[in-house]
């Protein structure tokens, strides 16, 4: 079946060109799609030949669609690709605080997919916090998509390890309102622009990524709305709640882990996967938390192999 996102070209390309920096990856593919209170930034990349599935790419907390930039060319060898900036991230505007929890974000993502009128087979690929979002979406909406058939979830460096109990029960409710307040996010954006904070943050992932990607992250973290969205998404994640209903997930799932991932440690992550996703395929490679940015061609082949055997 040929994938057909009927409205992928219906967004505002000119407004996207005005909004994005001139050096932004795949800028010509960018569209702004207005839907309720949100102005979504998305990039649709048609496959080089028909008959493949649609890959929906969901980035992690604090990132944007730019993080997939070096995977686009190899992925379009076999699939249509839809990469979005999640609410509160990148160039998607109009996010409300209530949208930053997994169930609400899955709901607005579902609204976007319905609006775009995509059909065919669907593989949802989520990096870091994008993986639990993919799972939340699948649990709620995978069987409610006329014409669109979800066939698999692929989680790259999935953020499925809950925060420490001390944070969850004591510090989280206190820190979250402070960290997500406008003065705090404004200060963090100022620090990002005037210190080496972003590079230190990227170094802490255990990944070595290209300078061009670092430059894009530096830009994003000078934007207060992006900083606020990242902090709210992080503060609003209810991983224990997601894991308690993971047994209801019917889609086949594959996870790719980084042995040097300093943000989501391999051993506790494997324990969570073994307990909550016992039928999932698990692969571990050398690399850090941004594995798809340091080994893009290999990760694209990994996804292709999964798709071809699905």
Q: Whole-angstrom Cα distance, residue 171 to residue 51?
A: 50
Q: For residues 51 and 126, is the Cβ–Cβ distance under 8 A?
A: no
Instruction: Enter the pTM of the model.
Output: 0.91
pLDDT surpasses 80 at 100: yes
pLDDT surpasses 60 at 84: yes
Number of domains in the chain: 1
CA angle 103, 43, 281 (to 5 degrees): 55
Residue 150 is part of which domain span?
13-166+237-309
Residues 303, 306, 309, 310: is their CA dihedral positive or negative?
negative
pLDDT, tens digit, 9 for 90 and up, residues 200-228: 889 989 999 999 999 999 999 888 889 88
pLDDT band at 7 (very low <50, low <70, confident <90, very high): low
pLDDT surpasses 60 at 168: no
Choose from 57-61, 168-172, 177-181 the range with maximum mean pLDDT. 57-61
What confidence score (pLDDT) does residue 32 get?
96
What confidence score (pLDDT) does residue 164 get?
45
CATH code (residue 294): 3.40.50.1820
pLDDT, tens digit, 9 for 90 and up, residues 15-73: 999 999 999 999 999 999 999 999 999 999 999 988 899 999 999 999 999 999 999 99
Query: What does the mean pLDDT of the chain come to?
Result: 88
- What is the arithmetic mean of pLDDT over 168-193? 47
Domain membership of residue 22 (yes or no) is yes
Q: What DSSP designation does 93 have?
A: B
Domain membership of residue 162 (yes or no) is yes
What confidence score (pLDDT) does residue 167 get?
37
Name the residue with higher pLDDT: 229 or 192: 229
Q: Whole-angstrom Cα distance, residue 80 to residue 307?
A: 12
Q: Longest C-alpha distance within the chain, in Å?
A: 53
Domain membership of residue 300 (yes or no) is yes
What confidence score (pLDDT) does residue 9 get?
58
Domain membership of residue 44 (yes or no) is yes
Q: Whole-angstrom Cα distance, residue 140 to residue 31?
A: 27
Report the 10 Å Cβ neighbour count for 35: 15
Domain membership of residue 121 (yes or no) is yes
- What is the arithmetic mean of pLDDT over 170-190? 47
What confidence score (pLDDT) does residue 89 get?
97
Domain membership of residue 114 (yes or no) is yes
Domain membership of residue 58 (yes or no) is yes
Q: Whole-angstrom Cα distance, residue 242 to residue 65?
A: 24
What confidence score (pLDDT) does residue 166 get?
36
The CA–CA distances, whole Å, from 202 to 141, 215, 216, 223, 289 equal 33, 11, 12, 17, 9
Q: Whole-angstrom Cα distance, residue 127 to residue 61?
A: 9
pLDDT, tens digit, 9 for 90 and up, residues 105-126: 999 999 999 999 888 999 999 9
What confidence score (pLDDT) does residue 228 get?
86
What confidence score (pLDDT) does residue 286 get?
98
Name the residue with higher pLDDT: 194 or 79: 79
Name the residue with higher pLDDT: 193 or 229: 229
Q: Whole-angstrom Cα distance, residue 43 to residue 50?
A: 18
Domain membership of residue 55 (yes or no) is yes
pLDDT band at 175 (very low <50, low <70, confident <90, very high): very low
Phi/psi for 21 (5° steps) reads -60, 150
Q: For residues 136 and 124, is the Cβ–Cβ distance under 8 A?
A: no
pLDDT, tens digit, 9 for 90 and up, residues 130-155: 999 999 999 999 988 888 999 999 99
pLDDT band at 193 (very low <50, low <70, confident <90, very high): low
pLDDT surpasses 70 at 296: yes
């Amino acid at each position: 079946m040929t994938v057909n996102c009927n409205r992928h070209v219906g967004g505002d390309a000119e407004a996207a060109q005005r909004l994005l920096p001139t050096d932004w990856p795949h800028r010509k593919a960018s569209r702004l799609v207005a839907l309720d209170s949100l102005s979504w930034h998305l990039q649709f990349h048609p496959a080089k030949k028909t008959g493949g599935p649609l890959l929906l790419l969901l980035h992690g907390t604090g990132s944007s669609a730019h993080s997939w930039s070096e995977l686009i060319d190899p992925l379009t060898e076999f699939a249509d690709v839809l990469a979005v900036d999640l609410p509160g991230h990148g160039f998607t505007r109009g996010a409300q605080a209530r949208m930053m929890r997994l169930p609400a974000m899955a709901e607005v993502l579902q609204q976007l997919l319905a609006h775009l009128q995509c059909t065919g087979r669907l593989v949802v690929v989520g990096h870091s916090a994008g993986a639990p979002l993919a799972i939340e979406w699948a649990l709620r909406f995978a069987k409610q998509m006329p014409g669109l058939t979800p066939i698999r979830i692929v989680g790259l460096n999935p953020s499925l390890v809950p925060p420490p109990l001390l944070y969850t029960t004591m510090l989280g409710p206190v820190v979250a309102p402070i960290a997500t307040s406008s003065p705090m996010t404004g200060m963090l954006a100022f620090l990002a622009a005037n210190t080496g904070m972003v590079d230190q943050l990227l170094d802490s992932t255990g990944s070595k990524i290209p300078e061009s990607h670092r430059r894009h992250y530096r830009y994003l973290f000078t934007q207060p709305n992006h900083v606020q969205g990242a902090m709210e998404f992080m503060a609003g994640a209810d991983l224990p709640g997601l894991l308690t209903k993971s047994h209801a997930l019917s889609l086949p799932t594959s996870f790719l882990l980084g042995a040097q991932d300093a943000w989501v440690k391999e051993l506790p992550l494997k324990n969570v996967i073994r307990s909550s996703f016992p039928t999932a395929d698990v692969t571990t490679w050398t690399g850090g938390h941004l594995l798809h940015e340091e080994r893009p061609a290999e990760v694209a082949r990994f996804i292709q192999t999964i798709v071809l055997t699905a």
